[in-house]
Chain A
Amino acid sequence: MIKMLQAMLQGTGTSLEVFFITLLFAVPLALPVMAGRTSRNRILSTVTKLFLLIIRGTPLMLQLLVVYFGPSLLCIWINRKFGMDIRITWPRFLAANVALIINYAAYFAEIYRGGIESISPGQYEAAKVLGYTKDQTFFYIILPQVIKRIIPAMGNEVITLVKDTALVQIIGVSELLRVAQETQSRLFSFMPLFVAGVFYFIMNWIVEAVFLQIEKKLAYYK
Chain B
Amino acid sequence: MEQSEEIIKVENLSKSFGTTDVIKDISFSVYKGEILGIIGPSGSGKSTILRCITQLESVSGGSITVCGKKLVTAGIYADKKTQRDIARSVGLVFQNFNLFPHYSVLKNITDAQIHVLGRSKEEADHMARQLLSRVGLSAKADNYPCELSGGQQQRVSIARALAMKPEVLLFDEPTSALDPELTGEILAVIKDLAEEKMTMVVVTHEMAFARDTSNHIIFMDGGVIVEEGDPQNIINNPQQARTKAFLSRFNA
Q: A125-B98, A145-B102, A221-B144 known; A131 and B164 CB under 8 Å?
A: yes
B9 interface residue per 8 A CB criterion = no
On whether A130 and B145 interact (CB within 8 A), knowing A125-B94, A145-B101, the answer reads no
Contact (Cβ within 8 A) A131 B94? no
A222 touches B164 (CB 8 A): no
B100 close to A129 (CB less than 8 A): no
B130 at the interface (CB under 8 A from A): no
Q: Are A129 and B115 in contact (CB-based, < 8 A)?
A: no
In this complex, what residue of A is CB-closest to B55? A128
Q: Mark A109-153, 1 if CB is under 8 A from B, else 0.
A: 000000000001011011011111000100011001100100000
Selected from B102, B144, B164, the residue in CB contact (under 8 A) with A130 is B164
- Residues of B near A148 (CB, < 8 A) are 102
> How many inter-chain contacts with C-beta < 8 Å in the A-B complex?
57
Residues of B within 8 A of A145 (CB): 101-102
Q: Which of B83-91, B180-188, B194-202, B242-250 contacts A (4 or more CB under 8 A)?
A: B83-91
Tell me if B94 and A136 are in contact (CB < 8 A).
no
Known contacts A122-B94, A125-B56, A145-B102; is-contact A131 B146 (Cβ 8 Å) = no
Q: Are A131 and B88 interface neighbours, CB within 8 A?
A: yes
Contact, CB under 8 Å: B146 / A129: no
Give Cα A49–Cα B161 distance, bound, in whole angstroms.
Answer: 40
Q: How close is B65's CB to chain A, nearest CB, in angstroms?
A: 19
Complex contact A123–B56 (CB within 8 A): no
Cβ contacts under 8 Å, A122 to chain B: 94, 96, 98
Hey, which chain B residues are within 8 Å of A129, CB to CB?
54, 56, 87, 90-92, 161
Q: State in angstroms the CA–CA spacing of A141 and B157 once bound together.
A: 15
Residue A220 CB within 8 A of the other chain: yes
Alpha-carbon distance A156/B224, docked complex (angstroms): 54
Q: Note all chain B residues with C-beta closer than 8 A to A120.
A: 98
Q: Which residues of A contact B94 (CB under 8 A)?
A: 122, 125-126
Q: Known contacts A125-B94, A144-B102, A221-B146; decide if A130 and B116 are in contact (CB<8 Å).
A: yes
A150–chain B nearest beta-carbon distance, Å? 14
Instruction: Give the CA-CA distance A12 to B73 in the complex, in Å.
Output: 68
Q: Across the interface, do B102 and A131 meet the contact criterion of CB distance under 8 Å?
A: no
Shortest CB-to-CB span from B161 to chain A, Å, is 8
Minimum C-beta distance from B219 to chain A (A): 26
State the B residues within 8 Å of A (CB).
Answer: 54-56, 84, 87-88, 90-92, 94, 96, 98-102, 111-112, 115-117, 144-146, 157, 160-161, 164
29 A-B pairs within 8 Å (CB atoms) are namely: A122-B94, A125-B56, A125-B94, A126-B94, A128-B55, A128-B56, A129-B87, A129-B90, A129-B91, A129-B92, A129-B161, A130-B160, A131-B84, A131-B88, A131-B112, A131-B116, A131-B164, A132-B115, A132-B116, A136-B115, A140-B115, A141-B100, A144-B102, A145-B101, A145-B102, A220-B144, A221-B101, A221-B144, A221-B145
Beyond A132-B115, A222-B146, list 16 extra A-B contacts (CB 8 Å): A122-B94, A123-B98, A126-B94, A126-B157, A129-B56, A129-B92, A130-B112, A130-B161, A130-B164, A131-B87, A132-B116, A140-B115, A141-B100, A148-B102, A221-B102, A222-B144
